[in-house]
């Protein structure tokens, strides 16, 4: 497959120029048969990075990739990044591509099977760890449809804030409460002001919500005072995880003015264990969001011809709920490419005042919602602030998450002519509030 190819997508996204190599070919097969299963999230075209150790072991976590239903220790091809994906993230695009190529060759070349096979371990025999240690977490607000739908609930006549179409709005979150998929989340305590109240009460949140997001993992950091141009921005992005920015809406309503979210968000943020690299996402690039008639053009630091042409990524994201005594069901499904702001724009804007980024930092997309009701990425939207509770298959309804509910995010990319890839899961169950 040639290094650079212009593909004409037969979809709403239009024509996009993407950079591909042999690791993306749909014809590529692995000698490890589970990787060739059509249903797997982790074919040889994916090769996401994570950290693992044997179940029950007290040994340090080691770097690996997911392949089919197994993990492959990176020692099979490279001994440099065995204990630290932050170091790999910081190493830059040339190193990432070479490691991806080495892994692809090792898993497809039958002559290397005997050498590599001993580094494979079934996924059900390993414990996964946080893929990177993030010093900072910034959560953006990139979906027009989420911003409009949520805004309409509070400001029916003027749903969007004046700045939304001019810049990717964000708040600074807590990296200390980023947790791995599978970690239960306690219902948080906080100050709550009743609609007709004269003073707040301190009580467990009655409106715990999820937010369907992606988290972009920063690669090489930036220096203090350094501004990254939009065409340089993706050199500083290593890959993507699923992200659930748990929210306590009743606490948020009282505290967020004038400085924005705080305790309503900082109690937990769940991420998936696998970093799907930007290289793996190359076949799924699409043009930047097509703005509505009358919208302003982005300011110069947020726009370039290259970003217009291929700045976004088509990633399907889903939210599923499993009640404590019920069966799992899907709540919503949307596509990240429907978001107003794209990855390079987040990095360019974040650094536009000289703010440094660190390898392993996390940049959340904010809730990903689409234009239809079943594409809403939070219960706030799905239930319209309790006006239309969501009916579950067990006969119960939800305006907010109940104790015992398990919330699972899934994601994946698909496109004709290419192998579909997945992101695994980001899941967490809501536990009752701890006693005061």
In tens, the pLDDT along 169-192 reads 999 999 999 999 999 999 999 999
pLDDT, residue 8, reads: 54
Clarify whether 146 is annotated catalytic. Answer: yes
Q: Does 218 have pLDDT greater than 50? A: yes
pLDDT, residue 5, reads: 52
Band of the pLDDT at 79, cuts 50, 70, 90? Answer: confident
Burial 116-149, CB ≥16 within 10 A → b, else e: beebbbebeebebbbbbebbbbbbbbbbbbbbbb
In tens, the pLDDT along 361-396 reads 999 999 999 999 999 999 999 999 889 999 999 999
pLDDT, residue 81, reads: 79
In tens, the pLDDT along 287-321 reads 999 999 999 999 999 999 999 999 999 999 999 99
CB 95, CB 88: distance < 8 Å:
yes
CB 428, CB 247: distance < 8 Å:
no
Residue range 31-129, CATH number:
2.30.30.230
Average model confidence (pLDDT) for the chain? 95
pLDDT, residue 80, reads: 83
Band of the pLDDT at 14, cuts 50, 70, 90? Answer: low
Alpha carbon distance 49, 374 (integer Å): 31
Q: Same CATH fold, 137-218+233-273+302-431 and 31-129?
A: no
The percent of residues in the chain predicted with pLDDT above 70, rounded, is 97
pLDDT, residue 217, reads: 98
In tens, the pLDDT along 117-133 reads 999 999 999 999 999 99
Average pLDDT over residues 241-250: 98
Q: Taking the alpha carbons of 25, 28, 32, 34 in that order, is the dihedral positive or negative? A: positive
In tens, the pLDDT along 43-64 reads 999 999 999 999 999 999 999 9
Beta-carbon contacts of 404 under 8 Å, excluding residues fewer than 6 positions away, are 323, 324, 325, 429, 430
Q: How far is CA 36 from CA 43, 107, 420, in A?
A: 6, 11, 11
- Domain covering 137-218+233-273+302-431, topology: Fumarylacetoacetate hydrolase; domain 2 (3.90.850)
Break the chain into its structural domains and give their ranges: 31-129, 137-218+233-273+302-431
Band of the pLDDT at 3, cuts 50, 70, 90? Answer: very low
pLDDT, residue 82, reads: 83
CB 408, CB 328: distance < 8 Å:
yes
Confidence (pTM): 0.96
Band of the pLDDT at 134, cuts 50, 70, 90? Answer: very high
Of the residues 146, 236, 312, 349, only one is catalytic, namely: 146
pLDDT, residue 2, reads: 37
Band of the pLDDT at 78, cuts 50, 70, 90? Answer: confident
Average pLDDT over residues 107-114: 97
Average pLDDT over residues 341-368: 98
Q: Which of 70-74, 155-159, 275-279, 377-381 has the lowest mean pLDDT?
A: 155-159
pLDDT, residue 154, reads: 87
Q: Does 17 have pLDDT greater than 90? A: no
The rounded Cα 424 to chain-centroid distance in angstroms is: 11
Q: Taking the alpha carbons of 252, 258, 261, 264 in that order, is the dihedral positive or negative? A: negative
pLDDT, residue 11, reads: 52
Band of the pLDDT at 18, cuts 50, 70, 90? Answer: confident
Band of the pLDDT at 19, cuts 50, 70, 90? Answer: confident
């Amino acid at each position: 497959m040639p290094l650079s190819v212009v593909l004409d997508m037969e979809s709403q996204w239009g024509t996009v120029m993407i950079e591909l190599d042999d690791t993306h070919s749909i014809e590529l097969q692995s000698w490890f048969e589970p990787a060739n299963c059509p249903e797997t999230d982790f074919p040889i075209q994916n090769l996401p990075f994570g950290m693992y150790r044997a179940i029950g072991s007290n040994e340090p976590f080691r770097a690996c990739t997911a392949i089919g239903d197994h993990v492959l220790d990176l020692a099979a091809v490279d001994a440099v990044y065995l204990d630290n994906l932050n170091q790999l993230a910081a190493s830059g695009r040339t190193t990432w591509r070479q490691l991806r190529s080495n892994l692809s060759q090792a898993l497809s070349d039958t002559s290397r099977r005997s050498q590599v096979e001993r580094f494979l371990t079934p996924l059900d025999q390993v414990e996964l760890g946080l893929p990177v240690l993030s010093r900072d977490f910034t959560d953006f607000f990139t979906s027009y449809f989420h911003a409009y739908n949520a805004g309409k609930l509070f400001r029916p006549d003027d749903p969007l804030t004046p700045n939304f179409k001019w810049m990717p709005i964000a708040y600074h979150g807590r990296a200390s409460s980023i947790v791995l998929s599978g970690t239960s989340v306690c219902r948080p305590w906080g100050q709550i002001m009743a609609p007709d109240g004269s003073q707040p009460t301190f009580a467990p949140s009655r409106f715990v919500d999820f937010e369907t997001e992606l988290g972009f993992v920063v690669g090489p950091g930036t220096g203090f005072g350094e501004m990254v141009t939009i065409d340089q921005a993706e050199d500083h992005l290593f890959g993507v995880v699923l992200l659930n920015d748990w929210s306590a809406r009743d606490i948020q309503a009282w505290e967020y003015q004038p400085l924005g979210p705080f305790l309503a968000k900082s109690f937990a943020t769940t991420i998936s264990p696998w970093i799907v690299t930007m290289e793996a996402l190359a076949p799924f690039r699409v043009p930047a969001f097509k703005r509505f008639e009358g919208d302003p053009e982005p300011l110069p630091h947020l726009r370039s011809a290259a970003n217009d042409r291929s700045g976004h990524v088509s990633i399907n994201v889903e939210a599923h709920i499993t009640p404590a005594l019920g069966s799992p069901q899907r709540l919503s499904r949307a596509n990240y490419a429907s978001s107003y702001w794209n990855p390079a724009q987040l990095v360019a804007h974040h650094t536009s005042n000289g703010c440094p980024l660190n390898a392993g930092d996390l940049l959340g997309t904010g809730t990903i919602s689409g234009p239809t009701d079943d594409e809403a990425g939070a219960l706030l939207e799905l239930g319209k602030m309790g006006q239309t509770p969501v009916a579950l298959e067990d006969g119960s309804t939800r305006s907010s998450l109940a104790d015992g509910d398990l919330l699972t995010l899934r994601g994946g990319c698909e496109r004709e002519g290419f192998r579909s890839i997945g992101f695994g899961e980001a899941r967490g169950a809501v536990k009752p509030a701890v006693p005061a």
